Amino acid sequence: MPLWLIYHPQDTTFTAPSSKQSLASEITTIYTSAGLPPFYVNVNFIPLSNQNMFVGGKNPETPFVRVAVDHIAVHFRDNEARTKRTMASVKRILKKHIGDNGWDWEVHIDETPTNMWLIAGIEPPPFQSEAEKRWVELGKPVEWRTEEGA
């Protein structure tokens, strides 16, 4: 599961629901194009007042958006080519939705161990397994057998 937490100034960024929907849709496409179920992708917009945002110990003059991402379903750290492709997609999307608006931004991606993750109390199947493909097809998590995870 990718979990995206987007911290942003409440009065100057992502004020229209359509701007949030557009960014969330493009983020989801990064993962569904790799074969993950869309319901794996969680995007949370967390508005903050300017008094609660500090960069370098000061309230930023230019709107500042901080993005924290947790990857759980698939890890990239051992695959440099996948890491570069993913970061290029992330950069392109965030530039379009944040940078091109004149806002400053920063992003990082953490990788959480897959054995520390459940969806609806179910251990998700391995990446690109037959069981995961069934989750994509059904659009929801369902119990699966170990032999389907191969």
* CA separation for the pair 27, 93 (Å, rounded): 7
Q: Are 9 and 64 in contact (CB under 8 A)?
A: yes
Grade residue 150 by pLDDT with cuts at 50, 70 and 90. Answer: low
Grade residue 43 by pLDDT with cuts at 50, 70 and 90. Answer: very high
pLDDT, position 91: 98
Q: What is the mean pLDDT of residues 132-143?
A: 95
Q: What is the mean pLDDT of residues 92-99?
A: 98
Which has the closest alpha carbon to 4: 39, 36, 45? 45
E-only strand ranges, 23-115: 42-48, 64-71, 104-111
Encoding tokens for residue 113? 């161990």
Residue-wise pLDDT for 16-41, tens only, equals: 999 999 999 999 999 999 999 999 99
Query: Looking at the predicted structure, is the pLDDT value of residue 68 above 60?
Result: yes
What domains are defined for the chain?
Answer: 2-117 (3.30.429.10), 119-150 (no CATH)
Grade residue 131 by pLDDT with cuts at 50, 70 and 90. Answer: very high
